[in-house]
Structure 1
């Protein structure tokens, strides 16, 4: 595995500055797209510019949200009681712990994000639920996150865990080794664990990819990949049907195609 430095890009222009309200924040932009209130004028301006050229971005955000909750519900129904939401973003209801605890009140949920703004929101909004915790951690440093989980006995890695990575991996550049990051978590998971991901697809329309390219050199810089590339991230997992497909195909057959394509997949560790 590559050394967990995050690289120069990670330490400079692509790491959020804590509580800088004059800087666009990708978590707050996503919160706005989901109809949340925890965003600033600059975030709404950035979202508005994106929506002007690619209005379906908001629809795709909701599709991804619905997929995440479906994955949690499916795994909880299968008996998994531990959930690790990596790159969780600002909490909005219903969230992972609400879905999981509705099925089993004893479910344990850990939210992880590298953004201090997100962590502050999580600490404030998730203070009351039992067995729900927020961690400040960067997925580009997986062993640091795993160390926190073990040292604080938040998750028992000897028992199955559900990991959700919703709209996160396309923020990890190739030189930050996304496959190695997933492998670091996978190797510590017990059999019967699940991984659910969504990832921006190169099958998106060229005009959508051009809009997203405008976020280069910011914390919202993305690297969309092909479905085949996304599938490699699930190496070591049994890929569940329908496989790596546009996210709406995981939800309902009557949902429309979108120019912005977000692939989704769920894998189970044998």
Structure 2
């Protein structure tokens, strides 16, 4: 990693979920500790890179769908380190006036995002913890870019499985839902143990070394996060099956992630 990207307060010895994901997507904003954890992940799940790419592709399809439905504002919570096909690029390709707020608690992700977004007054980045959604919603930078009186899309893509049960992941989504106007959306993907419980348990144990856990949940537990939202077709499905652009994936359960989009009525 180019040292100019590294904020001085970063602990490079402890793996970061955002930087591990960056490595799996082929990025360069990661440290040896992140690559070590990613190597362990690849031993457990040799398709980890493909899973990361499928999750990213789901994000792009969902953002495009929501933007085409007329939503002009996006809040990407747990946004990670920007890569090709960022939310603002996808949304602004549909509507050049689209506005995007990126939110992450990783120093490298935030520092890199600020460099990329410098000079773009329709986008911003906030360093904040998704476990405190009220603080995110009250942040002056969010208020500068987003009008919560109009529909907004809240993105929680590969985010809530980093929140333990006692930290109330359902409460996070409910707080966002209650803050959004009618016509707001939530885009969510989440690790599941339904098809391969042994593999996801091993992934969870590996992530105990990182800045955040990896808590896999069942289909019904993840569906609960959509309480109060109307699900868009095809509902909560393995991420390659959510409105695929090519041929349907023949073995979707190998992707370990459910994804779905809800709309606030």
Structures share a fold, TM > 0.5? yes
Which residue matches 1:155? 146
Which residue matches 1:74? 65
Which residue matches 1:194? 185
Which residue matches 1:172? 163
User: Residues 41-190 of structure 1: matches in 2 within 5 Å?
Assistant: 41-149=32-140, 152-190=143-181
Q: Structure 2 regions of 5+ residues with no counterpart?
A: 1-7
TM score, norm. by length of structure 2:
0.91
1:54–1:211 Cα contact (<8 Å) kept:
no
Partners of 1:66 and 1:149 in 2: CA distance: 31
What secondary structure sits across from 2:190 in the alignment?
Answer: strand
- Report how far residue 222 of structure 1 moved: 1.2
Partners of 1:49 and 1:217 in 2: CA distance: 11
Partners of 2:84 and 2:222 in 1: CA distance: 28
Could you list the per-position Cα deviations for residues 5-47 of structure 1 after superposition, in whole angstroms to 9, with x for gaps in the alignment?
Answer: xxxxxxxxxxxx9411122111110001111111112211211
Which residue matches 1:225? 217
TM score, norm. by length of structure 1:
0.89
What secondary structure sits across from 2:64 in the alignment?
Answer: helix
2:51–2:255 Cα contact (<8 Å) kept:
yes
Partners of 1:151 and 1:129 in 2: CA distance: 14
Could you list the per-position Cα deviations for residues 187-226 of structure 1 after superposition, in whole angstroms to 9, with x for gaps in the alignment?
Answer: 0101111101000012141342232122225323111100
What secondary structure sits across from 2:74 in the alignment?
Answer: strand
What secondary structure sits across from 1:163 in the alignment?
Answer: strand
The number of equivalent residue pairs is: 254
Partners of 2:142 and 2:21 in 1: CA distance: 31
Higher RCO (CA 8 Å, separation ≥ 6 residues): 1
